[in-house]
């Protein structure tokens, strides 16, 4: 898998955390932090995906591979994770398709028992 490293000092869009979960924050990554190792929890925060989703995509070859840091710890290269984020398609009205227009969403009604 070929990855590109974001330019030093490039402004990247990250999903906010804490009191502003829906707001996007601008973060300028200094050149000294481009290749640092980040732990899975930080990877989840950067990508906005659960640890399970990251693990599934990693096993399928759709996410950067983890690096073993010790007997019980792993991490990811920040540059590879940021390259993965940059490679995601931006959602626009043209590339969004509705989920079964007119269909009801949610659980199907359960069959009623007669008794």
Enter the tokens of residue 23. 């707001």
Instruction: Classify domain 11-88 at the CATH class level.
Output: mainly alpha
List, in order, residues 6 or more apart from 39 with CB less than 8 Å away: 73, 74, 75
Q: How far apart are CA 75 and CA 68, in angstroms?
A: 7
pTM over 0.75: no
In Å, the largest CA–CA distance within the chain is 71
If you average pLDDT over residues 3-27, what whole number do you get? 48
Q: What is the pLDDT of residues 93-106, one digit of tens each?
A: 888 877 776 666 66
Whole-number average pLDDT of the chain: 76
Pick the more confident residue, 81 or 90: 81
HEC per residue, 87-102: HCCCCCHHHCCCCCCC
Cβ atoms of residues 14 and 42 within 8 Å: no
Q: How far apart are CA 45 and CA 88, in angstroms?
A: 16
Count of CB atoms situated within 10 Å of the CB of 58: 15
């Amino acid at each position: 898998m070929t990855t590109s490293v974001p330019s030093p000092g490039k402004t990247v869009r990250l999903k906010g955390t804490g009191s502003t979960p829906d707001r996007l924050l601008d973060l300028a990554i200094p050149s000294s932090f481009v290749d640092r190792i980040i732990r899975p929890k930080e990877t989840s925060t950067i990508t906005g995906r659960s640890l399970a989703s990251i693990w599934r995509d990693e096993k399928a070859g759709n996410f950067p591979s983890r690096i073993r840091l010790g007997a019980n710890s792993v991490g990811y290269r920040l540059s590879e994770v940021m390259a993965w984020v940059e490679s995601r398609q931006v959602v626009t009205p043209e590339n969004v398709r509705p989920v079964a227009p007119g269909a009801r969403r949610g659980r199907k009604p359960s069959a009623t028992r007669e008794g």
